[in-house]
Amino acid sequence: MATKTETKQAAPAKQEGLQRIPYPFAAIIGQERMKLALILNAINPQIGGVLIRGERGTGKTIAVRGLADVLPMIKVVSDCRFHCNPDDPSEMCASCRERFEKGEKLPREMRKVHIAELPIGATEDRAIGTLNIEKAIKEGIKALDLGILADANRGILYVDNINLLDDHVVDVLLDSAAMGVNVVEREGISVSHPAKFILFGTMNPEEGELRPQLHDRLALQVAAFTVNDLKSRVQIVKNAEEYEKNPEAFRDKYVNETKALTARIEAARKFLPQVEIPTGYLRIIARISTELDVDGHRPDIIVVRTAMTHAAFEGRKQVTEDDLRLAAELTLNFRMRRTPFEEATLGTSKFQQVLDHAKKMEEQARERLAKRQATISQKAEAAAPKTVAGAVKGKTK
Amino acid sequence: MATKTGSKKVIDKTQNPQESLQRIPFPFTAIIGQEKMKLALVLNAINPQIGGVLIRGERGTCKTVAVRALTDILPSIKVVSDCKFHCNPDEPTEMCPTCQARYYAGGNKPLPSVTRKMKVADLPLGATEDRVLGTIDLENAIKKGERTLDPGILAEANRGILYVDEINLLDDNVINSLLDASSSKVNVVEREGISFSHPSNFILVGTMDPGEGELRPQLLDRIALHVIVKTISNLDQKVQVITERNEFDRDPVAFTKKYEKQSSELRDRIIKARALLDKVELPEDKLVLISRICKEVKAEGQRPDIMLSRTSKTLAAYEGRTEVTDDDIKKAVEFILPFRVRATPMVESDAPPYMDDVVDEVQSKEDEDKDEEEVTEEIPTHVFRVGAPIQLPRDMVKRRSDRIVRSGSGDRIKSLSTGRKGRYIKHRIPDDIPQDIAFDATIRAAAPYQKFRRESYQGDAKGLSLFIANSDLRKKVRENKVSTLIVLCVDASGSMGVLRRMEAAKGVVLSLLMDAYQRRDKVSVVAFRGKEAAVVLPPTSSVERARKMLEILPTGGRTPLAAGMLMAYNLINSERKKDPTIIPIFVLLTDGRANVPITEGSEPMDEVTEMAKLIRDDKVYPIVVDTEIPPSGGKFVDFVYEYAQDVAKDLNGVYYRLADLDAVSLGSMIHMEKSMAVSAATGS
């Protein structure tokens, strides 16, 4: 084989995909929690993904696919397969960085955040990329065929029925989710490229549980229920029929709502850096997760980010208690589950209780501290005449 | 696939014999009886949006005949003449990417087309994921160095009928791929370097024999209409069936002619109904009624509502009306709801006769809410709560790894794997042309011959940089961890209520389930009490379902132990049909005091011995947990019967006492493991 040693990256044999009009996100009735969780992730990718658990036929898949329409725009290098950020060399793929360092001005354009879908039947090699046999046989070049992980870089990777995903593909997902880099080491190819994505998954728990490691990777978790209120039920049927009859017309009907939501998400995205969280709240969050016996520190961080994002979505500069409760609910509810047999979903009211409890404990702690400080300073004052007053004051402060 | 008749085929594809043979189907209108099944099929023919039919029934109830005959009464369709996906030549949004490109390039003119009948694509039970989804065309890849899609059954089924016989025995991986295509109407292929999506809009028709296991809930939910077919019992009709069939076999052409008038009438009616469908109104109050019914029966998800409205509209159109009546809704309910209502285990829910009442009742009562209790109990029963889980002896459920190649995944045992799953550990020379080619090894094998082949190859092939012959092909050997199937056979008879044995037993079941959850095994529970046994939990890896089932499993009645063992045995065998390489583990929880035989008049305990021997000879790993708790709780030497120990001996299995298992959690693990090692050594 006349192998050229250089490893080239070639685009896969990607034919123009079938573009079906998704059911509009704004036309989904009920399921407010689920929609909110998705929106928060669209605003702030740092949150790190959503898992939607729910019975069959509750609109899980529709919601994620519909989200594509309301996603914000990002700046990308227009001729890069990995949708690299043209201004940040630390996140670039090897070829973009090389060009950047040479001082080349990278061509750029604005694009919607991309949802790459990983079908259940996907093989491992399509997920991570593999040897391009067309090039190998015809031209004798060892080239990499990029996988879905490359496509998902700086976007969203969506797996429907994520609990049914093959173990080996899950391993690959976990690796790159942790490192933000996809390393392809197979069939004589060795390449790595950035693969930073947020993971969206939907699953029906009746079909089997999710692997714990994957569970931990999905930041927010929400449950989708059958909508039981009669009026909504009727409306859902009407919408479904209308959409089925003419998807295009149905989408146009909701175009204003879609635009409004997109604009709100864009605004929240811009506003996010200005949002502040009172320092006292961080202690409360730490208390809550200790109280609920949650593993690891990741949940605490996610709660903070989610609370801030929700504040931004509501257009508030300050994180409030409501944001905190909501964030805790979205983040911690499924994480406290110790054994698979404990039904461990707490309602909003229960979370309010936990929050109140944490606040009370925090207050008590503060009071105790204040008391102790008071006694110390009293003692100090009593002792002050005998020593140098300034030094003691400094200590007790 | 049928269009491809190239003679130089590298891979032998599982061709559909019916397709190539062009047999005359039995006329649809000549089918006697089975009105519900026929109606369900016709409704789907009128409105494919309804979403398929599931036919439940024994063998030989003309399920397959009806499905094949359906194509005869279906209106013909126009298809792009040389498209593998049978695209619609007029509708660019429904085309495959290739046709779409051609359509737009040709100035939005309809593509060249032929008119033909809709086709039935068969999905055979043994079909692999590759065959269903489609995969890389290896012939093109190797000989020409081109990457093209070799379309699968989902491509063949586009704009036709996808027929799955014994759908409940379908491999899980195949079901997963079916699920998405059936709802999104698009098949996304991301396999073996191929990334392609094409339309896959089909009417799914499945048949199943409920005796061989239930359908997975997710799939059950996607198929809209469910009908039960039974063998015709009317003698006259039976005779008629035989004569008709004989007549058809003797001269199919003449027979078909005889029914031509009826067939064309039905065809016209379908075409009319199709045209009318768009005009059918579903008034607001009827919509509310539908939602109210779904709410009342606690159907899961919103799909039932949507299916109900579609089906009742189609029914109205079929009757030539533009207004949906209560009767339409009632009929639709019978098709859709019965199997979507959660059933309690061990309580019969075959053909729910109360569906009719539900509609009437919902209609009559407007706002008052009264709770309706179902009374189906005839024996005193008691539902025990689930006892505390215990710590299982380590490796209670364990087997050595062997050299059998398996598909599927899990975490219990390492195994060589089939298909494309698992880690590529090495390559080897294949017996025939492999699907799973190890390209690196193939290229290495071809390397020494390159010079020679370059000189000897002719024509187009000369331009390639690499020449590969069939003899160079190497196959990937993959390794995967697989899981086992644990079948728990639980005694739920009255004697289990003594001293709260059931509570403890449920605790043990729970512990086993938790262990299974961690290793991602599949678990199934068979319970027996009163006169019969039932599969209360079909094989699943969902702890959620298992827990719900355990909580409501009632206790009471006599002990049909042999029936329970038989049921478990049958279950294992039907799972074996799905996947012959599964590793079954049989756990029997009982006190062993059988007092109800399978066949009336025979000795219950003899039957148990027979069953035990049957299971023992069937390569099943048996574990017996004796639920007999000595009155003193095991502190003293008690007089105990230990019938279960005899059963364990007959089974040649490992034997545990429930009392001892409890003690395990109290710290005598070592003792248990020793006794286990001994019994394992003397046992299997």
* B225 and B314 inside one domain: no
- Residue ranges, CATH 3.40.50.300, chain A: 4-72+113-256
Could you tell me if A105 lies within 8 Å of chain B, comparing CB atoms?
no
Q: How confident is the model at residue A5 (pLDDT cuts 50, 70, 90)?
A: very low
Number of cross-chain residue pairs from A and B with Cβ atoms under 8 Å apart? 226
* B625 and B544 inside one domain: yes
CATH number of the domain residue B347 falls in? 1.10.8.80
Give the model confidence (pLDDT) of B326-356 as tens digits.
888 888 888 888 877 755 444 444 434 445 5
**Residue B367 has what pLDDT?**
39
Helix, strand, coil percent content, chain A, rounded in steps of 5: 55, 15, 30
Average pLDDT, chain B: 74
Q: Which of B211-215, B220-224, B235-239, B339-343 has the lowest average pLDDT?
A: B339-343
Q: How far apart are CA B518 and CA A339, in angstroms?
A: 10
B536 is a domain residue: yes
User: Which is more confident, B664 or B528?
Assistant: B528
Q: Which of B74-78, B100-104, B410-414 has the lowest average pLDDT?
A: B410-414
Q: Which of A294-308, A332-346, B244-258, B263-277 has the lowest average pLDDT?
A: A332-346
Q: Which of A290-294, B195-199, B237-241, B675-679 has the lowest average pLDDT?
A: B675-679
User: Which is more confident, A123 or A284?
Assistant: A284
Give the model confidence (pLDDT) of B598-654 as tens digits.
877 778 888 888 888 888 887 777 888 887 766 554 444 445 566 777 888 888 877
**Residue B236 has what pLDDT?**
84
B404 is a domain residue: no
* B128 and B173 inside one domain: yes
Q: What's phi and psi for B633, nearest 5 deg?
A: 75, 20
**Residue B318 has what pLDDT?**
92
Facing residue for A134 by CB, picked from B146, B173, B290: B146
- Cross-chain Cβ contact A207/B146 below 8 Å: no
For A146, nearest residue in chain B (alpha carbons): B193
* Active-site option among B269, B303, B576, B616: B303
Please give the C-alpha separations between residue A225 and each of A29, A34, A56, in angstroms, as whole numbers: 12, 10, 9
* B498 and B581 inside one domain: yes
Could you tell me if A352 lies within 8 Å of chain B, comparing CB atoms?
no
* B228 and B312 inside one domain: no
The range of the structural domain enclosing residue B467 comes to 424-479
Q: For the residues B159-171, what does the mean pLDDT come to?
A: 85
* B359 and B436 inside one domain: no
* B157 and B197 inside one domain: yes
User: Which is more confident, B73 or B173?
Assistant: B73
- Interface probe for B, chosen from A234, A238, A246, A334 (most Cβ of B below 10 Å), is A234
Q: For the residues B589-593, what does the mean pLDDT come to?
A: 81
Facing residue for B188 by CB, picked from A117, A236, A341: A117
Q: How far apart are CA B502 and CA B438, in angstroms?
A: 54
Could you tell me if A185 lies within 8 Å of chain B, comparing CB atoms?
no
- The minimum CA-CA distance between A134 and chain B, rounded to whole Å, is 5
**Residue B19 has what pLDDT?**
43
Q: Hey, is B464 helix, strand or coil?
A: coil
Q: How confident is the model at residue B683 (pLDDT cuts 50, 70, 90)?
A: very low
Of B320, B344, B364, which residue is a domain's last?
A: B364
B376 is a domain residue: no
Give the model confidence (pLDDT) of B501-510 as tens digits.
777 777 777 7
Could you tell me if A120 lies within 8 Å of chain B, comparing CB atoms?
yes
Q: How confident is the model at residue A4 (pLDDT cuts 50, 70, 90)?
A: very low
- Cross-chain Cβ contact A58/B301 below 8 Å: yes
- Cross-chain Cβ contact A145/B465 below 8 Å: no
**Residue B282 has what pLDDT?**
86
Q: How confident is the model at residue B361 (pLDDT cuts 50, 70, 90)?
A: low
**Residue A215 has what pLDDT?**
81
- The minimum CA-CA distance between A201 and chain B, rounded to whole Å, is 14
User: Which is more confident, A72 or A9?
Assistant: A72
Give the best-scoring range by mean pLDDT among A69-73, A289-293, B144-148.
Answer: A69-73
Q: For the residues B85-93, what does the mean pLDDT come to?
A: 81
Give the model confidence (pLDDT) of B251-286 as tens digits.
888 888 888 888 888 888 998 998 898 888 888 888
Rg value, chain A, Cα: 26
A178, pLDDT greater than 70: yes
Q: Which residues of B touch A214 (CB under 8 A)?
A: none
A354, pLDDT greater than 90: no
**Pair B597, B607: CB distance under 8 Å:** yes
For B460, nearest residue in chain A (alpha carbons): A138
For A237, nearest residue in chain B (alpha carbons): B306
* B496 and B430 inside one domain: no
Crossing angle of helices B326-336/B303-318, nearest 10°? Answer: 130
For A14, nearest residue in chain B (alpha carbons): B195
- The minimum CA-CA distance between A272 and chain B, rounded to whole Å, is 35
- Judging by DSSP bridges, how do beta strands B77-80 and B202-208 pair with one another? unpaired
**Residue B487 has what pLDDT?**
86
Residues 40 through 59 of chain A touching chain B, CB cutoff 8 Å: 55-59
The domain total for chain B is 4
B2 is a domain residue: no
Average pLDDT, chain A: 80
Q: For the residues B393-419, what does the mean pLDDT come to?
A: 52
CATH of domain A4-72+113-256: 3.40.50.300
- Cross-chain Cβ contact B176/A120 below 8 Å: yes
* B53 and B175 inside one domain: yes
Could you tell me if B142 lies within 8 Å of chain A, comparing CB atoms?
yes
Q: How confident is the model at residue A313 (pLDDT cuts 50, 70, 90)?
A: very high
Give the model confidence (pLDDT) of B221-234 as tens digits.
888 898 888 887 78
Residues 438 through 497 of chain B touching chain A, CB cutoff 8 Å: 438-440, 443, 446-447, 450, 463-466, 468, 480-481
* B677 and B591 inside one domain: yes
Crossing angle of helices A298-313/A255-271, nearest 10°? Answer: 120
A63, pLDDT greater than 80: yes
Facing residue for A206 by CB, picked from B141, B310, B542: B542
**Residue A205 has what pLDDT?**
79
**Residue B1 has what pLDDT?**
38
**Residue A1 has what pLDDT?**
37
Q: Which residues of A touch B142 (CB under 8 A)?
A: 137
Q: How confident is the model at residue B463 (pLDDT cuts 50, 70, 90)?
A: low
**Pair B337, B329: CB distance under 8 Å:** no
**Pair A89, A158: CB distance under 8 Å:** no
B224 is a domain residue: yes
B268 is a domain residue: no
B410 is a domain residue: no
A18, pLDDT greater than 70: no
- Interface probe for B, chosen from A341, A342, A343, A345 (most Cβ of B below 10 Å), is A341
Instruction: Give the contacts of B537 (CB within 8 A, at least 6 positions apart).
Output: B345, B523, B524, B525, B545, B546, B549
A314, pLDDT greater than 90: yes
Could you tell me if B20 lies within 8 Å of chain A, comparing CB atoms?
no
Please give the C-alpha separations between residue B186 and each of A15, A99, A118, in angstroms, as whole numbers: 14, 39, 14
Q: How far apart are CA A329 and CA B118, in angstroms?
A: 51
- Cross-chain Cβ contact A130/B510 below 8 Å: no
Residues 213 through 252 of chain A touching chain B, CB cutoff 8 Å: 226-228, 230, 233-234, 236-238, 240-241, 244-245
Q: What's phi and psi for B190, nearest 5 deg?
A: -130, 75
B380 is a domain residue: no
Q: How confident is the model at residue B357 (pLDDT cuts 50, 70, 90)?
A: low
**Residue B517 has what pLDDT?**
66
**Pair B204, B162: CB distance under 8 Å:** yes
